[in-house]
A and B are shown apart, each in its own frame.
Chain A
Amino acid sequence: MIAIHRLSVSTLQLAVLATAALILLPLGYVTTLALSADPAVWQRLWATRVPELLLNTVSLAGAVALLTLSLGVSTAWMVTRFEFPGRRFWEIALVLPLAMPTYVLAYVYNYLLGFGGPMEQLWQLVAGPQARIFSPQSFWGVTLVMALDTFPFVYLLTRSALLSFNVSFEEVARTCGASPLRTMFRVTLPLLRPSIVAGVALVVLYVVSDFGAVSLLRYQTLTYAVFQQMTGRSDNQAASILSILLVVLALLFLLAERWFRRKSRFYQTTGRYRAPQRIQRGWLHTGLLTACLASVVGLAFGIPTSLLVMWSFSQEALAILDARFFGFVWNSALLSSLAATAAVLVGLPLAYLASRKPTWLNLGCLQAAYAGYVLPGPVAALAVLVLFLNIMPFFYGTVLVLIVAYVLHFLPAGLQSLEPSIQQITPNVEEVARTLGLGVRETWRRVTLPLIRNGVIVAWVLIFLQTMKELPATLLLRPVGFDTLAIRVWLEASEEYYQLAAPSALLIVLVGLPALFLLLSRDWRAA
Chain B
Amino acid sequence: MMHAPSHTTHTDTGPSDSQVDLYGPTASILELRSVSCAYEPTRPAIQNISFSIREGEILCLLGPSGCGKTTILRAIAGFEPVRSGQIFLSDRLVSSASRTVPTEERRVGMVFQEYALFPHLRVADNIAFGLHQLSRAERTSRVQDMLQLTGLEGLERRYPHELSGGQQQRVALSRALVQNPVLLLLDEPFSNLDPDMASRMRQDLHALLRRTKTTTILVTHDHDEAFAMADRIAVLNRGEIEQLDSPELIYHLPATRFVADFVGQADFITGQIQQGVVQTELGAFPNTIDGVEEAHVVVMIRPDDIHLIPNKSAEPRIVARQFRGSENLYTVQLPSGQVVHSSESSTSVYHEGTAVELRVSATHTVLFSAEQPPRP
Whether A associates with B in a native complex is: yes
Determine which of B77, B104, B120, B179 lies in contact with A191 in the assembled complex, contact meaning CB atoms within 8 Å: B120
Beyond A264-B120, A267-B120, A273-B114, is A174–B161 a contact (Cβ under 8 Å)? no
Query: A426 contacts the other chain (Cβ, under 8 Å)?
Result: no
Mark the stretch among B105-113, B330-338, B366-374 that contacts chain A: B105-113
Determine which of A169, A171, A179, A266 lies in contact with B110 in the assembled complex, contact meaning CB atoms within 8 Å: A171
Within A44-93, which residues are at the interface with B (CB < 8 Å)?
A: none
Instruction: Please tell me if the beta carbons of B130 and A171 are within 8 angstroms of each other in the complex.
Output: no
Which residue of chain A is the closest to B74 with respect to CB atoms?
A171
In angstroms, Cα B133 to Cα A179, docked, is 12
Which residue of chain A is the closest to B125 with respect to CB atoms?
A186
Instruction: Please tell me if the beta carbons of B118 and A272 are within 8 angstroms of each other in the complex.
Output: no
Please name all residues of chain B whose beta carbon is closer than 8 Å to the beta carbon of A173 when the two chains form the complex.
Answer: 118, 129
Query: A484 contacts the other chain (Cβ, under 8 Å)?
Result: no
Instruction: Please tell me if the beta carbons of A175 and B103 are within 8 angstroms of each other in the complex.
Output: yes
Which residue of chain A is the closest to B160 with respect to CB atoms?
A266
Beyond A176-B175, A176-B179, A267-B119, is A168–B104 a contact (Cβ under 8 Å)? no
Instruction: Please tell me if the beta carbons of A171 and B103 are within 8 angstroms of each other in the complex.
Output: yes
Which residue of chain B is the closest to A186 with respect to CB atoms?
B129
Query: A437 contacts the other chain (Cβ, under 8 Å)?
Result: no
Beyond A177-B130, A271-B192, is A171–B116 a contact (Cβ under 8 Å)? yes
Interface residues of A, count at CB 8 A: 27
Query: B263 contacts the other chain (Cβ, under 8 Å)?
Result: no
Q: Mark B114-138, 1 if CB is under 8 A from A, else 0.
A: 1010111000000001101000000
Chain B nearest CB, measured from A416 CB (Å): 27
Please name all residues of chain B whose beta carbon is closer than 8 Å to the beta carbon of A269 when the two chains form the complex.
Answer: 114, 119
Please name all residues of chain B whose beta carbon is closer than 8 Å to the beta carbon of A182 when the two chains form the complex.
Answer: 132
Beyond A169-B118, A266-B119, A266-B161, is A174–B112 a contact (Cβ under 8 Å)? no
Chain A nearest CB, measured from B38 CB (Å): 12
In angstroms, Cα B118 to Cα A268, docked, is 11
Instruction: Please tell me if the beta carbons of B116 and A168 are within 8 angstroms of each other in the complex.
Output: yes
Please name all residues of chain A whose beta carbon is closer than 8 Å to the beta carbon of B79 when the two chains form the complex.
Answer: 171, 174
Chain B nearest CB, measured from A166 CB (Å): 7
Beyond A266-B161, A269-B119, is A174–B114 a contact (Cβ under 8 Å)? no
Instruction: Please tell me if the beta carbons of B119 and A174 are within 8 angstroms of each other in the complex.
Output: no
In angstroms, Cα B130 to Cα A174, docked, is 9
Q: Mark B287-317, 1 if CB is under 8 A from A, else 0.
A: 0000000000000000000000000000000
In angstroms, Cα B107 to Cα A76, docked, is 32
Which residue of chain B is the closest to A176 with respect to CB atoms?
B130
Within A154-181, which residues are at the interface with B (CB < 8 Å)?
A: 166, 168-169, 171-179
Q: Give 17 new A-B contacts, CB below 8 A, not counting A173-B129, A174-B104.
A: A169-B116, A171-B77, A171-B103, A172-B112, A172-B116, A175-B110, A176-B130, A176-B179, A177-B105, A177-B179, A178-B132, A179-B104, A191-B118, A264-B120, A266-B160, A271-B114, A272-B113
The 29 listed contacts between A and B (C-beta, < 8 Å) are A166-B116, A168-B112, A169-B118, A171-B112, A171-B116, A172-B110, A172-B112, A172-B116, A173-B118, A174-B103, A175-B77, A175-B103, A175-B104, A175-B176, A175-B181, A175-B185, A176-B104, A176-B129, A176-B130, A176-B176, A178-B132, A186-B129, A191-B118, A191-B119, A191-B120, A266-B159, A267-B120, A270-B114, A272-B113
